[in-house]
Amino acid sequence: MPDSKKPSFFTRVRWFFQGRTSTGERGMGFGSQILSQLFLLLMAVIVLYPILWVVSMSFDPRDISRPTELRLNPFQGGLSLKAYQDVINQPTANPVSLGQLMFNSFRLATLTGIASIIVGVFASYAFSRLRFAGRQALMIAVLTVLMLPSIATLPALFVLLNKVQIDIGNSVFNLRNSLIGVGLAVLSGSLPFAIWNMKGYLDTIPKELEEAALIDGCTPNEAFFRVTLPLSTPVLAVTFFLGFMSTWTEFATSWLFLTNPKDFTLMMALYNMVGQYSNSTPWSHFAAMSILIALPVTIVYLFVQRYFVGGLAIGGVKG
Amino acid sequence: MTTLAQSSTASKKEAHKKSIWKTLNPYFYLLPAFLIMGVITYYPMLYQVWMSFTDYGVKNLRFNAPLPNYVGLANYINILTNQLGLSYYDFWRMLGFNLFWTFSNVIIHVTLGIFIAVILNRQGLWFKGFYRALYILPIVIPQIIVANIFRNMFDPDYGAINQGLAALGKFFFGLSPDLFHIHWIDQVNYPVSWLPLTLSYYALLITNVWLGWPFMTIVASGALQSIPKDLYEAARIDGASESQQFWRITLPLLRPAMVPASVYGIVMTFNLFSLIYFLSGGGPLRQTEILITTAYRLINEQRLYGVAAAFCVYIFFILLALTLITNAITRATESYDA
Amino acid sequence: MASVTYDHVTKKFGDSMIAVNDLNINVDDKEFLVLVGPSGCGKTTALRCLAGLEEITEGNIKIGDRVVNDVPPKDRDIAMVFQSYALYPHLSVFDNMAFGLKLRKVPKDEIKRRVEQAADTLGIKDLLNRKPRQLSGGQRQRVAVGRAIVREPKVFLFDEPLSNLDAKLRVQMRAEISKLHQQLQTTFIYVTHDQVEAMTMASRIAVINKGVLQQIDTPQNLYDSPNNVFVAGFMGSPAMNFFPAKLRKDANKMVVDTSDFVLTIPPDRTKPLEQHVGKDIIFGIRPENIHDAEFIPPNIHAEKVEAKVDVTELMGNEIYLYLITGKNTFVGRVDPRSKMRMGDKAQVAFNMDKFHIFDAQTEQAIR
Ligand SMILES: Nc1ncnc2c1ncn2[C@@H]1O[C@H](COP(=O)(O)OP(=O)(O)OP(=O)(O)O)[C@@H](O)[C@H]1O
Ligand SMILES: [Mg+2]
């Protein structure tokens, strides 16, 4: 551009209405602009409506079990935190607090997430960088599990974990009926994903960096720990988060394995609120519960999603 | 002289030792992962194959319980011949539904995704950033929560969908709101009599389209942004109309990104447990049950572990076939991209 | 401060791909050796074998008197500058340069002193706190060199360090690396495929083709008396002109007979050629030894040849003439006053004191 001055505010406003870009290039005509806007706005309403609906229900002040008219309450009717209070005190008929449920889910998700990246990163490094006999076969072995949904290995996991039973005095510890057992079953599915996801990233780190480290005085293993590992922190974080997310919302395994309400997870409680025996639960409670479960992960997701948009890693954890 | 020779053999031994460590080194990196997966993944997978030939059931669960009986291929045969004691269970219909479910979803996701991406990519569009940010939401909200929200929205009496339809009907046609108590989830009759799909299928489809298109839009947007602008300028100079530009330039250049995304979408949708289990529960009368939800019911409700194991072996091979076929199609059409 | 020896070094990838074939090179202490050759000829592989990044298949590599075949890279006391620079993206410039020293447990203040001194030498003192991604290509290059020199290694290895820089910066860095070599008084081994870099920087050049060493000598010797057709054609730009020809004796004169023209060989150079009379040879002459017949420098044995001017390129201080005689095309670098233009029939003169003759079969120089 010969004139490097920024266009004035008025010029930019004019361009905006003429459908030009911020550099003044020709854009779309007014008619198609309006049509596009109408369509995109409709999509925006469709995307937003269910979310607003559940949010407004959670603040419903009337303490009724079902909404009787179509309206978004915050805009009429007023707000109440009662549903949240009730849910935090005791979300289901089971005598457990939301805190206890959250703690269970959090423990489960954090520990399996950490385990999968710590154990997985070494294997992904081997697959990405090292050459050894059987590499192909082992990669296929990982991919096979990756293809399989985690429910497809539940029959055997249930039966096998159920066999690990320890009698301690008069109490009995059954591995299947414990959060540790659920963690192991979840890890069985998330580890191959973690390995594959991290391998894909390690493949993009130039080999020269490690070679430079070798010459600078590292042994091959030191080069991994001092150069490659620090450089893979983004993928470690993303993989951890995806693992966390899938375990945080895991339902099938925990519902099948756990019988003691003290061990229940958030998703199990949610199912208790909406499942077949739930007719007495007011929808405001369900709505508040949904928001309490979804809000933390959604916020984190919004912050980190730009790191894995583009790659297929998004949502690529088995459900 | 001798000392020299000795030291050289010693160093050779040393070197030999070193090279053994070097060849073993990769396996040390693999050891933790494969040790764990060996115990909690591969051994259970093999064990499951063995289980699939037995009548493993609740009676065999207890500690010190007797081994289950070998039943040969009985489980496999019973699954295919619908002798599982599950009411309304029909394997072949379910497999067909599962595939139809998968492809009807992915086709809509991809079409809608590309359509919206193309609009969002147009120059001079207002509020681009706003729409892009907003359309992320269905991806970031946990699926199970979405399933539950929609389950409530599809409620025949108090759900937002029926209430919304009632409001619209009243406003435009003066219809009585009482007409709109549509039983989205549990109506047994097919709404389109010649199509064997219940209303719950449509409810699931609506929900999953709500969930699924933004991902395809994101993938397509990324690909669109990497298409050089001068291609369109060249096409305009050659006299191509807007629609010709779309069919001749945009679509072919989107292919390399959309094909893997679609394959991924196919596998994910084929196994979409949480949505179906939470929204329709497979109902009514198992009309929206898919393989993976049935497998879960066999374990969780029927507690027929041997049968469930055989069922999962089927799932494994069906998925293998699905992946191989989609991969083969992808590869066969690859040369077209050049 | 050490010599480097390649002793019958062979490197194979797999069973069939021979990247380096029976390489023998002695690099003296404090020497600046440049490895040149066309792309894929095995230069990088030869360097990586010395660095210990590749295991050699046969032979020995010595640094000083020590055979280093089984010594891991970190114990070879070498430093290497990579083509892609390979700066650690997660470390600051300072930490990049200090990395090797920290690993060797050099005391903190010593590290600081050395890094700052190197940064001073290279003019990157202001950049020490930046991350590599905040640097320009030239600055990254300097940091990569800096990381090598703080280590004070016995041998420096460079793998095409300038190929990612623009032309101007390349000339500047070339001079700086030469200066660095003089300051450090250490052995440099430098890989490039740019013959200008090779000619200007090297104390000796090793020319490699298809994994085989062709010739190793000082730049001037290599240019003046190439051992074979490959070296003759590789060094110099525009490249040497080659004419397939026969050596004949006409009366008392020895002549080179291309099918298009005949050139008399000056009597003082006939002696080594006697045995090849009557055989096929390749006659080679560099473009600067072909003159416009109107501007022949004094005191040379000039032989005139008729040719047609195909293309002329004016370079300012000289003119490149692309010439055709019968089957042969060749290039002359002539006096800028030359009036020859495209399409002209022209008389050019070959300087018969400066030609090369190669055996047509073996392509080896005859002298
Ligand atoms: N890891 C490897 N596996 C197999 N072949 C290899 C490997 N590394 C190099 N080669 C082959 O060895 C030959 C020499 O490669 P090398 O990198 O040494 O060439 P080079 O002279 O450095 O070329 P350039 O100027 O292009 O950098 C090439 O033909 C190359 O394909
Ligand atoms: Mg190279």
**Cα-Cα-Cα-Cα dihedral of B293, B299, B305, B309, to 10°?**
20
CA distance B280 to B297: 14
Longest dimension (CA), chain A: 87
**Atom 10 of ligand 1 has which residue's CA nearest to it?**
C19
**How far, in Å, CA of B162 to CA of B183, rounded?**
9
Name every chain B residue with its beta carbon within 8 A of the beta carbon of A16: 126
- pLDDT of the residue at B209: 94
Within 13 Å of residue C350, how many CA atoms lie on the same side as its CB?
27
Q: Which of A70, A151, A270 sits opposite B167 (nearest CB)?
A: A70
| CA C257 – CA C280 distance, rounded (Å) | 10
Q: What's the pLDDT score for residue C165?
A: 84
Which of A20, A188, A291 would you mutate first to test chain B, the one with the most B CBs within 10 A? A188
A183-231 confidence digits (pLDDT tens) = 999 999 899 999 988 988 888 888 899 999 999 999 989 999 999 999 8
Flag if A28 and B27 touch (Cβ within 8 Å). Answer: no
CA distances from A120 to A127, A207, A305, B22 (A): 11, 20, 22, 21
| Interface ipTM > 0.90 | no
- A43:B144 CB<8 A: no
pLDDT at res. A310: 38
Ligand 1: residue of C43, C56, C158 to mutate (most ligand atoms within 8 A of CB) is C43
Strands C345-351 and C355-359: unpaired
Chain C partners within 8 Å of B18 (Cβ): 70
Q: Which two tokens stand for residue B295?
A: 């497998």
- Cβ neighbours of B261 in A, within 8 Å: 312
Q: Give the residue from chain C lying closest to B22, CA to CA.
A: C72
pLDDT digits (tens, 9 = 90+) for A92-145: 777 788 888 999 999 999 999 999 999 999 999 999 988 888 898 998 889 888
DSSP B81: T
Q: Which pLDDT does position A25 carry in this prediction?
A: 61
pLDDT at A16: 66
Distance between CA atoms of residues B42 and B47, nearest Å: 8
For residue B28, what pLDDT is reported?
92
**Nearest ligand to the C-alpha atom of residue C209:** 1
Q: Tell me what percent of chain B is helix, strand and coil, each rounded to the nearest 5.
A: 70, 0, 30
A209 touches chain C (CB under 8 A): yes
Name the minimum distance, in Å, from the CA of A10 to any CA of chain B.
Answer: 16
Instruction: Tell whether domain A86-318 is in CATH 1.10.3720.10.
Output: yes
Q: Domain boundaries in chain A?
A: 86-318
Closest atom, ligand 1, to C-alpha of C54: 1
> Which residue does chain C place closest to B17, by CA atoms?
C70
Q: Tens digits of per-residue pLDDT, C301-349?
A: 888 999 999 999 988 889 999 999 988 899 999 988 888 888 888 889 9
Q: Among all chains, which residue has been given the structure tokens 């010739």?
A: C215
Please give the order of strands across the beta sheet that includes C155-159.
C78-81, C155-159, C187-191, C32-36, C204-209, C212-217
Contact C46, C23 (CB under 8 A): yes
Q: State whether the Cα torsion A231-A234-A235-A237 is positive or negative.
A: positive
Interchain CB contacts (distance < 8 Å): A and C: 58
The residues lining ligand 1, judged by C-beta closer than 6 Å to any ligand atom, are: C 13, 17, 19, 37, 39-45, 193
Q: Is C109 helix (H, G, I), strand (E, B) or coil?
A: helix
Q: Do A215 and C72 touch (CB under 8 A)?
A: no
- How many Å apart are CA B9 and CA B2, to the nearest integer? 11
Identify the chains in contact with B, defined as 3+ C-beta pairs within 8 A: A, C
Instruction: Give a three-class secondary structure readout of B145-213.
Output: HHHHHHHHHCCCCCCHHHHHHHHHHHHHHCCCHHHCCCCCCCCCCCCCCCCCCCHHHHHHHHHHHHHHH
Over 70: is that where the pLDDT of A276 sits? no
Q: How many CA atoms lie within 13 A of B178 on its CB side?
A: 1
Nearest residue, CB atoms, A148 vs list B61, B160, B316: B316
Q: List the single residue in C with minimal CA-CA distance to B18.
A: C70
Model confidence pLDDT, tens digit, residues B188-247: 787 777 888 888 899 999 999 999 999 999 889 888 888 888 888 888 888 888 888 888
Question: Which ligand places an atom closest to the C-alpha of C14?
Answer: 1
How many angstroms does the Cα of residue C92 sit away from the middle of ligand 2?
A: 27
Mean predicted confidence (pLDDT) in A22-50? 82
Cα A131 to Cα A135: distance, rounded to the nearest angstrom: 7
Cβ(B299)–Cβ(B214) under 8 Å? no
Tokens representing B57 are 């059931």
Residue B244 CA, ligand 2 centroid: distance in Å: 46
Q: Residue B312 is encoded by which pair of tokens?
A: 């999962």
Ligand 2 center from residue C38 Cα (angstroms):
9
Query: Which amino acid would we find at residue A65?
Result: S
Which whole-number Å values give the CA distances from A111 to A119, A188, A197, in the listed order? 12, 13, 18
The per-residue pLDDT for B7 is: 47
d(CA C65, CA C69): 12
Nearest Cα neighbor of B223 from B243, B259, B260, B253 is: B253
What strand order describes the sheet that includes C355-359? C262-264, C253-257, C241-250, C280-285, C355-359
Find the closest chain A residue to C156 by CA distance: A215
The token duo for C223 is 């240019």
A112 touches B at CB < 8 Å: no
pTM of this prediction? 0.84
Whole-Å CA distances, A107 to A11, B182, C13: 56, 42, 49
What is the Cα–Cα distance from C66 to C86, expressed in whole angstroms? 28
- pLDDT of residue A1 exceeding 50, the answer is no
Backbone angles phi, psi at A141, to 5 degrees: -60, -40
Q: For residue B151, how many C-alpha atoms fall within 13 Å in the half-sphere facing its CB?
A: 28
How close is the Cα of C43 to the center of ligand 1, in Å?
Answer: 8
Give the per-residue pLDDT at A70.
Answer: 62
Q: Which residues of chain B have pLDDT under 50?
A: 1-7, 335-338
d(CA C46, CA C57): 12
Nearest to A176 by CA among A271, A261, A256: A256
Which residue on chain B is closest to C70 by alpha carbon? B15
The 10s digit of each residue's pLDDT in B75-84 is 999 888 888 8
Distance from CA of C73 to the nearest CA of B (A): 14
In the three-class reduction of DSSP (H, G, I as helix; E, B as strand; rest coil), residue B112 is classed as: helix
Angle in degrees, CA B50, B55, B57, rounded to 5? 105
**What's the rounded Cα separation, in Å, for the pair C353 and C263?**
12
CA angle in degrees (0–180, nearest 5) for C45-C50-C51? 95
User: Which domains are seen in chain B, by residue range?
Assistant: 86-334 (1.10.3720.10)
The average confidence (pLDDT) of chain A is: 82
Segment 11-30 of chain A within 8 Å of chain C by CB: none
Q: Which of C118, C127, C189, C185 is nearest to C148 (CA)?
A: C118
- State yes or no: pLDDT of A19 exceeds 90: no
Beta bridge partners of C190: C34, C158
- The answer to whether C353 and C301 have CB atoms below 8 angstroms apart is yes
Length of chain A counted residue by residue: 319
Going by C-alpha positions, the residue among A230, A240, A227 that lies closest to residue A307 is A240
Nearest Cβ partner for C88 among A217, A219, A227: A227
Chain B to chain C, count of Cβ pairs less than 8 Å apart? Answer: 3
Secondary element (H or E) of residue C254: strand C253-257
Count of H helices and E strands in chain A?
Answer: 14, 2
* C40 CA distance to ligand 1 middle (Å): 5
The phi and psi torsions of C7 (rounded to 5 degrees) equal -120, 100
Residues 23-62 of A with CB under 8 A from B: 25-28, 32-33, 36-37, 39-40, 43-44, 46-51, 53-54
Interface of A with B in 229-268 (CB under 8 A): 245, 248-249, 251-252, 255-256, 267
State the distance from the centre of ligand 1 to the C-alpha of C78, rounded, in angstroms. 21
- pLDDT < 50 positions in chain C: none
Q: Residue A75's pLDDT band (boundaries 50, 70, 90)?
A: low
CB within 8 Å: A152 and B295: yes
Whether residue A313 is predicted with pLDDT greater than 50 in this model: the reply is no
Look at strands C253-257 and C241-250 and give their pairing: antiparallel
Q: Which of C10, C11, C20, C41 to mutate to test the pocket of ligand 1 (most atoms within 8 A of CB)?
A: C41
The minimal CB distance from C103 to the residues A206, A209, A217 is found for A217
CB atoms within 10 A of CB A228: 19
Task: Say if CB B309 and CB B75 are below 8 A apart.
Answer: yes
Per residue in A242-259, pLDDT (tens digit) is 899 889 989 999 999 998
